[in-house]
Amino acid sequence: MGEKTSLTLHDVTDELDEDNEKYANALQSAGEVFAEVEALFNDENYERRVGWFKDESNDEGDVVYAKDTRHGRMVTISTELPMPPDFVIQETWNGMETLPQWNQNINFASVIASPTPNFDVVTMKNSSSSFTKSGEQFEKLHGACGVLQEHINSKILAKLMSFKDIECKDCDQQMTQLKKAQKDYANKKNKKNPDPVLVEAAETSLKKLLEESKATLTKFNKTGCELLTQLSADMKAGFDSYCDAAASV
């Protein structure tokens, strides 16, 4: 017989017998989730809702806060219930089958097994309304992605293409002319019997192109730096808009 699977939380130990070892992974997962949620509740940022956004609220002052995690969207709500704490705990633990009576997002809920007094394995089925809401959320996020993509195409890529077609092309043409002038000057100067007039004319042309090339490169660098600054601002504006749209889902 192998070692029994057990889990201890706050000095309370749950141990699976041989017949319930098939729920070992579920028990360990429950322990990991318990530790993660407990750490969340003990985080001072949770009390001040730092990193959370307001999801829903009602006229009674109840507010649902949410945040996106690696597991999906997490929601939390603090409210006051006009009933004893023991009743709330018992209802939460023992009232699994009654979930559909008060939660419109749940169509079916049931306890599959109770391997230990503190560990239940449950199953539940979402109602069609919850899928409809999820579908609406997906559509909103999809729309936000489309807006971000259009923003990138219309503002970011358009400016890059303009820079390539104008500044980059001008710089390339200027460098090509400069190389030809350098080659022409070298050929005339290195002849066995160089013509002083032709050499001087080639040198003058080369110097002129050098000055023009400097101006072209200066403009290229200035425009490139301005473009990078503008692209950074455009990207930030696009992502901020996307994040705002995602937070409202």
Evaluate if residue 3 carries a pLDDT over 90: no
pTM above 0.75, yes or no: no
Residue bearing the bigger pLDDT, 127 or 138: 127
Domain-embedded: residue 111: no
Please give the structure tokens belonging to residue 138: 């997906």
The proportion of the chain whose per-residue pLDDT surpasses 90, expressed as a percent, equals 14
Mean pLDDT across 155-184: 83
pLDDT band at 230 (very low <50, low <70, confident <90, very high): confident
Domain, as residue range, for 227: 132-247
- Compute the distance between CA of residue 60 and CA of residue 128 in angstroms, rounded to an integer: 27
pLDDT at 131: 45
25 part of a folded domain: no
In a domain, 177, yes or no: yes
The residue among 246 and 66 whose pLDDT is bigger is: 66
Q: How far apart are CA 50 and CA 72, in angstroms?
A: 18
Tokens found for residue 236: 């930030």
- Which tokens sit at 73? 């969207």
**CB atoms inside a 10 Å sphere around CB 5:** 18
Quick check: 235 pLDDT over 90?
no
Confidence of residue 37 (pLDDT cuts 50, 70, 90): confident
- Work out how many domains the chain is built from and give that number: 1
CA–CA distance, 66 with 136 (Å, rounded to integer):
17
Task: Report if residue 113 sits inside a domain.
Answer: no
Q: What is the b/e burial string over 58-84, where b = at least 16 CB atoms within 10 angstroms of the residue's CB?
A: eeeeeeebbbeeeeeeeeeeeeeeeee
- Report DSSP letters for 99-133, one per residue: HHHH-TTEEEEEEEEEEETTEEEEEEEE-HHHHHH
Report the pLDDT averaged over residues 9-23. Answer: 92
Choose the most confident range, by mean pLDDT, from 30-44, 156-170, 226-240: 30-44
Is residue 115 in some structural domain? no
Taking residues 17-34, what's their average pLDDT? 92
Residue 24 lies in a domain: no
- Mean pLDDT over each residue of the chain, to the nearest integer: 82
Q: Is 125 among the domain residues?
A: no
Q: Is residue 207 part of a domain?
A: yes
